[in-house]
């Protein structure tokens, strides 16, 4: 389903395939990867046509499954087609040079090519003539204009003479007042010199603020550079938890009910009585559907529908390039497929696209964090998770949500504050640690502190802090280490090198890319460049890349869920967590069918 790519490379071999959806056949050609064979596509097309035409009647009579045990006498035909393909690639007509008669130069006369001194090209002269004619035209237009103005003046004088003396005085007064009014407006608009002479900038004093800077300083120098537990903070747990009726430690699926499904349910419930009477007709129509002739889909039939589907996907925030590739793969999958008489092209294409989208969102390798943490416990080592992503996507907030989920499942967490660049990053994690300890105090866990913060302040080496935190967690018996990193743009080479160093040195068990659901085409650029940077700057032979995705701000996009498709399509990695709100309980697992239902909603 990924781009409709019809080739596959395995070690030293390359395989190319072609599908015949009408007879359910697959044609595969294999050759050595180092060979650049230009005739492979022609060969597979020729074999496909020859084989299908030769055995068409047998396929229609017995069906494809009936011929699985049979043999096909096709070796001679294949060798002939192979020879033809090889010869066609070798025999190419050499490029013939044009004769003088065929060239443009031969069409020119000798007279037009001779240039004499002082003579300018004809085109420029023509242009000048045109310009001169334009000037003459404008002068001609201007002349009557002037004349008309001249004509107006005596007429105005004549009118003036016809007016009485009182009327002339009244008119002069009105003109005088108008002039003075305009002069007054101009003088009022001009800036006053006194207003410009203002004193220096004064600090704004807020009504609820405090001018004392010491009161506003919440940083605690005693805990900086140590891994001591933060003091317990008292606050309203309902604000932090949100839903009090939830099951502790459970990661709920995303829920979405499309309007189409609700409408279908109403339609089905209303005509329940007449459907009993029409039961016999339904069975007859089912028989007719099998009897009536069927039609195979062509590209011309699907193109209008696919164009609409592509625009619909782009409108739902799917990256444009990926939307095109998806529609192309669906077209290749359906081309030549036999379609029932009572099914429309639109419904067939839509169903195929839905199946393709669900398959993309379902991961090839499922990431089960709880199982992996328990496996690390048996080996007496902490399970290390590193969070990375661009600025402002919610890395620290979702790290706190994942910490809360792990604590509710009985695992102790050490948060490593490796964002030593952003102002307030350490204080943000310290506040989350205090609140999580207030929700799960040590008294409820046998005197054991369930979450601690390991920080060394600002301006330090992030890779070194992560290494010290992992060593500290191993000595103190923590189950999980969550490494928070600084946000960085995918184009910033020095920061991407630092991230690759942190991952290469500490070898975390899980590398999570945190991306927001609001992006469209940018999601593809971010993931591709993050993976490329990790591969380029890694010192290992098999570089460590992104293992999974955390999709944040999912509650802000309504049904524009295309970023989920773009991210999973480009990396083939699963979306492990979905952030859906501001409380610690707003963490979900991805439900592929719910996302596709939202995506296909009109």
Q: Cα–Cα distances in Å, from 48 out to 20, 82, 487, 557?
A: 8, 12, 52, 46
pLDDT at 56: 78
Residue 381 pLDDT exceeds 80: yes
Q: Which residues contact 191 (CB under 8 A, 6 or more apart)?
A: none
Tell me the residue ranges of DSSP E strands in 11-148.
13-20, 25-32
Spatial CA neighbour of 545 closest among 503, 590, 587, 589:
503
Among the residue ranges 198-202, 348-352, 478-482, 527-531, the one predicted with the least confidence is 198-202
Provide φ and ψ at 45, rounded to 5°. Answer: -70, -45
Position with higher pLDDT, 255 vs 3: 255
- pLDDT tens sequence across 141-174: 444 444 444 444 444 444 444 567 677 877 887 8
pLDDT at 558: 82
- Residue ranges of domains in the chain: 7-91, 305-361, 369-600
Position with higher pLDDT, 228 vs 449: 449
Report which listed range, 186-190, 248-252, 380-384, 534-538, is most confident: 380-384
Contact in structure between 296 and 24 (CB atoms under 8 Å): no
Among the residue ranges 51-60, 62-71, 486-495, the one predicted with the least confidence is 62-71
Report which listed range, 131-140, 206-215, 425-434, 524-533, is most confident: 425-434
What mean pLDDT do residues 472-477 have? 93
- pLDDT tens sequence across 330-362: 998 888 888 776 678 888 899 999 999 988 888
Chain mean pLDDT for the chain = 76
pLDDT at 231: 55
- pLDDT tens sequence across 252-276: 777 665 544 444 444 334 443 344 3
pLDDT at 418: 93
Strand, coil or helix: 144: helix
pLDDT at 577: 92
What mean pLDDT do residues 373-389 have? 93
Cβ-in-10-Å burial (0-12, 13-18, 19+) of 396 comes to buried
Contact in structure between 543 and 501 (CB atoms under 8 Å): no
- % of the chain residues with pLDDT over 90: 23
Write down the CATH number for the domain with range 369-600: 3.40.50.300
Strand, coil or helix: 587: strand
Among the residue ranges 92-101, 330-339, 393-402, the one predicted with the least confidence is 92-101
- pLDDT tens sequence across 232-259: 555 556 656 656 566 676 777 776 655 4
Q: Cα–Cα distances in Å, from 408 out to 251, 380, 436?
A: 11, 21, 10
Contact in structure between 513 and 550 (CB atoms under 8 Å): yes
pLDDT at 265: 41
Q: Cα–Cα distances in Å, from 396 out to 426, 457, 516?
A: 10, 16, 13
Residue 308 pLDDT exceeds 90: yes
Position with higher pLDDT, 181 vs 131: 181
Provide φ and ψ at 237, rounded to 5°. Answer: -65, -25
What mean pLDDT do residues 523-547 have? 83
- pLDDT tens sequence across 587-600: 888 888 888 888 88
What mean pLDDT do residues 52-58 have? 80
The dihedral built from the CA positions of residue 450, 226, 550 and 580, taken in this order, carries a sign that is positive
Residue 579 pLDDT exceeds 80: yes
pLDDT at 336: 84
Q: What is the pTM of this model?
A: 0.62
β partners of residue 587 = 579
Contact in structure between 88 and 39 (CB atoms under 8 Å): yes
Residue 120 pLDDT exceeds 70: no
Place of tokens 């030593």: 420
What mean pLDDT do residues 412-430 have? 92
Indicate the class that CATH gives domain 7-91: alpha beta
pLDDT at 33: 81
C-alpha 331/C-alpha 335 separation (Å) is: 6
């Amino acid at each position: 389903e990924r781009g409709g790519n019809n080739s596959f490379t395995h070690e030293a071999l390359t395989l190319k395939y072609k599908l015949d959806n009408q007879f359910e056949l697959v044609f595969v050609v294999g050759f050595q990867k180092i060979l650049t064979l230009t005739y492979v596509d022609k060969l597979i097309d020729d074999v496909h046509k020859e084989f299908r035409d030769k055995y068409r009647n047998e396929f229609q009579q017995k069906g494809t499954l009936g011929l699985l045990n049979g043999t096909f006498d096709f070796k001679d035909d294949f060798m002939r087609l192979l020879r033809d393909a090889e010869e066609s690639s070798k025999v190419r007509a050499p490029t013939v040079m044009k004769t003088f008669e065929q060239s443009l130069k031969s069409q020119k006369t000798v007279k037009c090519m001779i240039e004499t001194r002082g003579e300018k090209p004809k085109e420029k002269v023509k242009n000048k003539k045109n310009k001169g004619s334009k000037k003459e035209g404008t002068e001609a237009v201007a002349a009557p204009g002037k004349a008309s103005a001249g004509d107006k003046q005596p007429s105005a004088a004549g009118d003036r003479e016809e007016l009485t003396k009182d009327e002339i005085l009244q008119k002069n007064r009105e003109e005088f007042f108008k002039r003075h009014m305009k002069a007054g407006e101009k003088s009022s608009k001009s800036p006053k010199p006194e207003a410009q002479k203002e004193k220096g900038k004064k600090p704004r004093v807020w009504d609820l603020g405090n001018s004392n800077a010491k009161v506003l300083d919440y940083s605690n120098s005693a805990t900086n550079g140590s891994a001591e537990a933060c003091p317990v903070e008292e606050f309203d747990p309902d604000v932090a938890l949100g839903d009090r009726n939830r099951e502790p430690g459970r990661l709920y699926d995303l829920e979405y009910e499309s309007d189409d499904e609700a409408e279908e349910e109403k339609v089905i419930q209303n005509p329940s009585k007449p459907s009993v009477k029409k039961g016999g007709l339904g069975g007859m129509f089912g028989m007719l559907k099998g009897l009536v002739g069927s039609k195979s889909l062509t590209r011309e039939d699907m193109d209008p529908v696919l164009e609409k589907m592509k625009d619909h996907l782009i409108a739902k925030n799917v990256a444009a390039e990926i939307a095109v590739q998806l529609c192309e793969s669906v077209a290749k999958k359906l081309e030549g497929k036999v379609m029932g008489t009572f099914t429309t092209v639109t419904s067939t294409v839509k169903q195929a696209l839905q199946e393709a989208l669900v398959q993309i969102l379902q991961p090839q390798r499922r990431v089960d964090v709880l199982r992996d943490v328990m496996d690390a416990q048996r080996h007496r080592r902490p399970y290390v998770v590193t969070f990375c992503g661009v600025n402002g996507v919610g890395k620290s907030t979702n790290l706190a949500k994942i910490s809360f989920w792990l604590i509710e499942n009985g695992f102790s967490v050490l948060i490593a504050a490796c964002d030593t660049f952003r102002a307030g990053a350490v204080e943000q994690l310290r506040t989350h640690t205090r609140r999580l300890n207030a929700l799960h105090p040590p008294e409820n866990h046998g005197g054991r502190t369930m979450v601690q913060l390991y920080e060394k302040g600002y301006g330090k080496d992030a890779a070194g802090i992560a290494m010290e935190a992992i060593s500290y967690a191993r000595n103190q018996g923590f189950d999980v280490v969550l490494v928070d990193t600084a946000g960085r743009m995918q184009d910033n080479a020095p920061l991407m090198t630092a991230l690759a160093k942190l991952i290469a040195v500490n070898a975390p068990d899980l590398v999570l890319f945190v991306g927001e659901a609001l992006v469209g085409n940018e999601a593809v650029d971010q993931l591709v460049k993050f993976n490329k940077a990790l591969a380029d700057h890694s010192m290992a032979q098999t570089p460590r890349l992104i293992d999974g995705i955390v999709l944040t701000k999912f509650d802000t996009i309504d049904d524009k869920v295309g970023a989920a498709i773009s991210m999973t399509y480009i990396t083939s990695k699963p979306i492990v967590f979905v952030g859906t709100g501001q409380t610690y309980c707003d963490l979900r697992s991805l439900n592929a069918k719910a996302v596709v239902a939202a995506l296909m909603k009109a």
